[in-house]
Amino acid sequence: MGNRIGAVLVSLNKYHYPFTSKLDFNCTSSMMEYEACIMGIRVVIERKIKVLEVYGDSALVIYQLRGEWETRDFKLIDYQKLVLNLIKEFNVIIFCYLPRYENQMADVSATLTSMVKVNKQDELKVIHMSIYEAPAYCYNIEEKERDDHPWYHDILQYVKNREYPKQTTKNDNRMLRRQTNDYVLNGEILYKKRKDQVLLKCVDTV
């Protein structure tokens, strides 16, 4: 179930640190590219790294983040806003487009390099895995923006009362309506409906 994304953090000494996540919600290929990009950037921020080169094989995402292409798809606008907010943590960050055929070779090279280096147990790099039930920008609400509400507050209010958040655009409201299709309200408790029809209780993760 869901889609899988991955990113590899490559240090200056050429060690490779792979990360992977499962996206347990409906998303397009471009949304997946943004999710992978955001996952990688957050990993780097956690390690207090201030200079970063980001390589991706999605021309759409890379050129949008470089400001060379407009972001017209309403499903990607919040993703772009989140990335532009995250990159404020860096002194230098460069987004580089890597054609898919070159990226495949890079993936193979990275995998083989890691396998060759692992000849002792203490050299094995941990593969970090996680599962996300909602788009990345849903988990990035600042405390001052939250007003003590959980990340799913807007979804809950729409499912419950058909109310839109204040000061939102038509695109924001359209995105919210699409998101609510995957949620079910039982009394005062909101549940996320997975593709296999299993209901997951929404909890505040911030």
- The DSSP code sequence of 140-194 is ---HHHHTT--TTHHHHHHHHH--PPTT--HHHHHHHHHHHTTEEEETTEEEEEP
Query: 140 is written with which tokens?
Result: 């990035």
Query: Residue 202: CB partners within 8 Å, gap ≥ 6?
Result: 133, 150, 152, 155, 156, 183, 189, 190, 191, 192
∠ CA 88-8-109, rounded to 5°? 140
- What is the pLDDT at residue 142? 43
Q: Are strands 3-10 and 16-23 parallel, antiparallel or unpaired?
A: antiparallel
Out of 1-5, 73-77, 87-91, least confident range:
1-5
∠ CA 196-202-205, rounded to 5°? 125
Within the chain, all domains assigned CATH 3.30.420.10 are found at 3-132
CA distances 180 to 134, 162, 163, 176, Å, are 11, 10, 12, 6
pLDDT, one tens digit per residue, over 21-52 is 888 888 888 999 999 999 999 989 988 999 99
CA distances 68 to 59, 61, 63, Å, are 11, 10, 5
In which band, very low, low, confident or very high, does the pLDDT at 54 lie, cut at 50, 70 and 90? very high
Q: Which of 196, 198, 204, 182 is nearest to 25 (CA)?
A: 182
- What is the pLDDT at residue 139? 57
pTM: 0.57
Query: Residue 149: CB partners within 8 Å, gap ≥ 6?
Result: none
- What is the pLDDT at residue 106? 53
Query: Which residue would you say has higher pLDDT here, 156 or 196?
Result: 156
pLDDT, one tens digit per residue, over 2-20 is 678 888 888 888 787 888 8
Domain over 3-132 is classified CATH 3.30.420.10 = yes
Query: 48 is written with which tokens?
Result: 């207090």
Query: Which residue would you say has higher pLDDT here, 143 or 75?
Result: 75
**pLDDT of 59 higher than 60:** yes
- Out of 73-87, 106-120, 189-203, the most confident range is 73-87
Give the Cα separation of 148 and 143 in Å (integer).
7
